[in-house]
């Protein structure tokens, strides 16, 4: 276990893609420990309607990586997700290119990552109102983040990804997930990290995103 | 700062409702610190398209509490969110009643909580496909959870809530949030906690929610 203060833990748990150790075996007990910590995250009404599929088999990982590659190509081609908020900012453009190269690296190596965790929530929520969507995602995504934080404390690295959801049904078939009854919410490749010397990332100043009392009066 | 290991932090950050200290003032600097930690959480493409409105004004909190009370009544009457997974389990029924009483306590005292944080993401995602929903919520809910974890490390208590979203537009008006352009994702009442001796909560065994290799083969 790394000796990290709460703030160190929360500010140095980064998206790890290039620094995933693809050679070093990953003990199942470590993954179980991370999950035992993760399920202490809150859920609406303490319902815990979550499930986590962890894949280590080579053939199944290869099938997942194939879907992920197609999802990535579609993501790049279509730019379906939200565009950058400041597309004319050269720093942001540079960063976007760097993230793009790192993400592409993950696409090319996903099949070699020791474990891939797919987080799920029971029920389908497509087209439901925001109050239901926020409740469902709010009842599983904190656990996903806790999982990544618990992994970081154990010298592991992970990356939060969602683009495989372009092909969620195909992914469900690969994993045997009953698509009509279960929503996938994130895919988290997991490995020992190459080194543990992660630093806080580049972020906009807090005053840019913090409004006191009302939207207009601050920020 | 509490001296907590990563696992202690992640397993003892509980939903705090009855043990919110409604008398003790809450320093703004503490809230800013928590947010500075929170924004180190990951976002898709490092876009950081989030915003956090923190309300401490009595009149505005009263207006929020009024909406929240109506949302609670609607939640109770309609049971709109997912039903419990094991409604026939007496333990679960007892727990549901206990959570109900605690939540009702928050409804009755929300206007007296020192600060209420409303987490937002730019853009509206109503009716968008799951890949977009998962990416949006995945780009702000980790920060909300980090905020609560950073608060816990500072002796604060908080509760993750979503039911005000039944009346999201009305809430947006109270807070000056441009509803058509900004999605609210969670409301987090925040205060010093009465004591800091929180323990891990009751959870289903990990083996019930962890599937190795495929949905059918484990759990």
User: In sequence order, which residues have a C-beta less than 8 Å from that of residue A163 and are 6 or more positions away?
Assistant: A68, A71, A72, A74, A75, B131, B135
With beta carbons under 8 A apart, name residues in chain B contacting A96.
45
pLDDT values of chain B reduced to their tens digit, one per residue, 219 residues: 999 999 999 999 999 999 999 999 999 999 999 999 999 999 999 999 999 999 999 999 999 999 999 999 999 888 655 555 566 778 877 888 888 999 999 999 999 999 999 999 999 999 899 999 999 999 999 999 999 999 999 999 999 999 999 999 999 999 999 999 999 999 999 999 999 999 999 999 999 999 999 997 544
Q: What is the pLDDT of residues A102-116, one digit of tens each?
A: 999 999 999 999 999
Q: Which of A50, A137, A165 sits opposite B131 (nearest CB)?
A: A165
Q: Does A183 touch chain B (CB under 8 A)?
A: yes
Q: Confirm or reject contact between A169 and chain B (CB < 8 A).
A: no
The 10s digit of each residue's pLDDT in A113-137 is 999 999 999 999 998 999 999 999 9
pLDDT band at A190 (very low <50, low <70, confident <90, very high): very high
Taking an 8 Å cut-off on Cβ atoms, the answer to whether B37 and A142 are in contact is no
CB A189 within 8 A of CB A20: yes
Right CATH for A6-217 from 3.30.230.10, 3.40.190.10, 3.40.109.10, 3.50.50.60: 3.40.109.10
Q: Where are the domains of chain A?
A: 6-217
The model's pTM is: 0.96
Q: Strand B210-212 and strand A50-55: pairing?
A: parallel
| Chain A interface test: which of B9, B67, B80, B91 (most A C-beta within 10 Å) | B9
Taking CA atoms, what residue in B is nearest to A12? B40
Is the CB of A54 less than 8 angstroms away from the CB of B212?
yes
Q: Which range (A93-97, A144-148, A214-218) has the least confidence? A: A214-218
- Paired sense of beta strands A50-55 and A182-192, if any: unpaired
Cα–Cα distance measured from residue B38 to residue B12, given in angstroms and rounded to the nearest whole number:
18
Task: Give the DSSP per-residue string, A39-59.
Answer: TTS--GGG---EEEEEE--HH
Pick B54's closest partner by Cβ from A40, A96, A212: A212
Most B CBs within 10 Å, among A46, A84, A178, to test the B interface: A46
Q: What angle do CA B48, A38, A7 make, to 5 degrees?
A: 55
Contact between residue B155 and residue A182 where contact means Cβ atoms under 8 Å apart: no
Chain A (30-89) residues lying within 8 Å, Cβ to Cβ, of chain B: 32, 35-42, 44-57, 60, 80-82, 84-85
Q: Write out chain B residues lying below 8 Å of A146, CB-based.
A: 10, 145
pLDDT in tens, A42-78: 999 999 999 999 999 999 999 999 999 999 999 988 8
Q: Which of A43, A99, A131 to mutate to test the interface with B (most CBs of B within 10 A)?
A: A131
Residue B202 buriedness (CB in 10 A; 0-12 / 13-18 / 19+):
exposed
pLDDT, tens digit (0-9, with 9 covering 90-100), for A168-183:
999 999 999 999 999 9
Chains A, B: CB contacts under 8 A, how many?
Answer: 301
Interchain pair B153, A46: CB under 8 A:
no
Cβ contact, residue pair B134, A57, below 8 Å:
no
């Amino acid at each position: 276990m790394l000796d990290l203060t709460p703030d160190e833990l929360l500010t140095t748990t980064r998206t790890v893609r290039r620094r995933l150790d693809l050679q070093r075996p990953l003990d199942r007990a470590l993954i179980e420990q991370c999950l035992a910590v993760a399920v202490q995250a809150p859920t609406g009404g303490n319902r815990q309607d979550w499930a986590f599929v962890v894949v280590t088999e080579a053939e199944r990982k290869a099938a997942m990586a194939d879907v992920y590659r197609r999802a990535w190509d579609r993501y790049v081609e279509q730019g379906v997700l939200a565009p950058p908020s400041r597309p004319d900012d050269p720093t942001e453009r540079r960063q976007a290119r760097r993230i793009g190269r790192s993400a592409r690296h993950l696409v090319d190596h996903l099949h070699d990552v020791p474990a891939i965790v797919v987080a799920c929530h029971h029920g389908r929520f497509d087209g439901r109102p925001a109050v239901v969507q926020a409740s469902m995602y709010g009842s599983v995504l904190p656990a996903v983040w806790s999982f990544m934080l618990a992994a970081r404390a154990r010298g592991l690295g992970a990356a939060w990804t969602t683009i495989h959801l372009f092909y969620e049904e195909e992914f469900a078939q690969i994993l045997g997930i009953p698509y009509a009854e279960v929503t996938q919410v994130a895919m988290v490749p997991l490995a020992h990290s190459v080194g543990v010397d992660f630093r806080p990332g580049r972020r906009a100043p807090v005053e840019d995103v913090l409004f006191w009392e009302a939207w207009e009066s601050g920020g």
